[in-house]
C-alpha cells in the first residue's frame, strides 16, 4: 500500500500532537514531519515533498498564505489543506487564491479531516460548506500578488515611483503598471485612497 505522506504545520504543539495521533490511526497515512512556523514549513515541504500539507494560517515568521505560495512553488505536487479557526478570515480566501486545494474548520471531526486528506491526495479539491458559505457572504477581498503588496507598502511611505523602483530593484514603468493594477483591484482612484482601503481591509503588514 502506497502511503499518503502528510506534513503538519501549526504553531500550537497540542494541535500538532492531536493531528499526529489521528494520522497514526490510519494505515494509509504517514506523518513525515511537523513545522511550528512558516519558514520551517517551506523548508520541510521543499525537502520532504509531502502529498498533503496541513496548514495553519496564523503562524510566526511567515504566515500560512505566504507559506502556501512558497511551498507550491517549491513542491507543485503537494496539496495544501488549510485548517483554520477563522472561516471568514481574509487569509482563508488568500490561501485559496494562492493555491490551497482544501479548507476545513479546526472544529471538523476526525473522520472528515482524514477523508479530505485522502480526497486532496487523489487530486480533488474540497472547501467545507461553512467556509464556502462564509466566503460567499463576505465582502470581496482583493488579493494582491507579493510584488503588488511590496509596491503598496512603499506607497504608504510616500515614495515616488522612481524611489519605489530603486528600493525594489525593478523598472519605473513596472512600478507604474503595478500601481494601476493595485488601484483596479482596490477600486481606488489615488494613492491615499489605495492605502486607506488596504489598511481597512488588513491587506498591509506595517
Per-residue pLDDT reduced to its tens digit, 23-33: 999 999 999 99
Task: Say if residue 15 is in the same domain as residue 85.
Answer: yes
Residues 107 and 161 in one domain: no
Host domain of residue 18: 4-137
pTM: 0.68
- Average the pLDDT over each of 28-37, 74-83, 94-103 and give the range with the smallest value: 94-103
Domain shared by 101 and 151, yes or no: no
pLDDT score, position 25: 93
Beta bridge partners of 105: 84
Q: Identify the CATH number of the domain in which residue 174 sits.
A: 1.10.10.10
| Whether 51 and 105 share a structural domain | yes
Judgement on whether residues 124 and 176 belong to the same structural domain of the protein: no
Q: What is the pLDDT of residues 107-148, one digit of tens each?
A: 899 999 999 999 999 999 999 888 887 777 665 566 788 899
List phi, psi (to 5°) of 12: -100, 115
Containing 162, the helix (H) or strand (E) segment is helix 161-168
Answer yes or no: is 111 within a domain: yes
Instruction: Examine the domain organization and report whether 132 and 185 are in the same domain.
Output: no
Same domain? 50 vs 131? yes
Query: Tell me, what's the pLDDT at 138?
Result: 60
33, 124: one domain = yes
Check whether residue 87 and residue 61 sit in a common domain: yes
Residues whose CB is less than 8 angstroms from the CB of residue 201 and which lie 6 or more positions away in sequence, other chains included = 90, 141, 142
Domain count along the chain: 2
CATH code (residue 62): 3.40.50.2300
Pick from 87, 120, 137: which residue ends a domain? 137
Residues 17 and 73 in one domain: yes
- Among residues 137, 154, 179, the one where a domain terminates is 137
Choose one of 89, 111, 137: the last residue of a domain.
137
164-176 confidence digits (pLDDT tens): 999 999 999 999 9
pLDDT at 88: 52
Query: Looking at the predicted structure, is the pLDDT value of residue 84 above 90?
Result: no
Percent of the chain with pLDDT over 90: 55
- The region, left, alpha or beta by phi > 0 then psi within -120 to 50, assigned to residue 112 is alpha
Q: Are 55 and 81 in contact (CB under 8 A)?
A: yes
Amino acid at each position: 500500500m502506497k502511503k499518503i505522506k502528510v506534513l503538519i504545520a501549526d504553531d500550537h504543539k497540542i494541535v500538532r500532537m492531536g493531528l499526529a495521533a489521528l494520522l497514526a490511526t490510519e494505515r494509509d497515512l504517514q506523518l513525515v514531519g511537523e513545522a511550528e512556523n512558516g519558514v520551517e514549513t517551506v523548508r520541510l515541504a521543499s525537502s520532504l515533498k509531502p502529498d498533503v500539507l496541513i496548514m495553519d494560517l496564523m503562524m510566526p515568521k511567515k504566515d500560512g498564505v505566504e507559506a502556501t505560495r512558497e511551498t507550491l512553488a517549491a513542491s507543485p505536487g503537494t496539496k495544501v489543506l488549510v485548517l483554520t479557526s477563522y472561516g471568514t478570515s481574509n487569509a482563508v480566501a488568500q490561501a485559496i487564491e494562492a493555491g490551497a486545494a482544501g479548507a476545513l474548520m479546526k472544529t471538523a471531526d476526525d473522520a472528515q479531516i482524514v477523508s479530505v486528506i485522502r480526497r486532496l491526495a487523489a487530486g480533488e479539491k474540497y472547501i467545507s460548506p461553512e467556509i464556502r458559505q462564509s466566503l460567499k457572504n463576505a465582502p470581496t477581498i482583493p488579493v494582491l500578488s507579493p510584488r503588488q503588496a511590496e509596491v503598496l507598502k512603499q506607497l504608504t511611505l510616500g515614495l515616488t515611483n522612481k524611489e519605489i523602483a530603486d528600493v525594489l530593484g525593478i523598472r519605473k514603468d513596472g512600478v507604474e503598471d503595478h500601481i494601476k493594477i493595485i488601484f483596479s483591484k482596490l477600486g481606488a482612484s489615488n494613492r491615499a485612497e489605495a492605502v486607506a482601503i488596504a489598511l481597512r481591509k488588513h491587506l498591509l503588514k506595517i
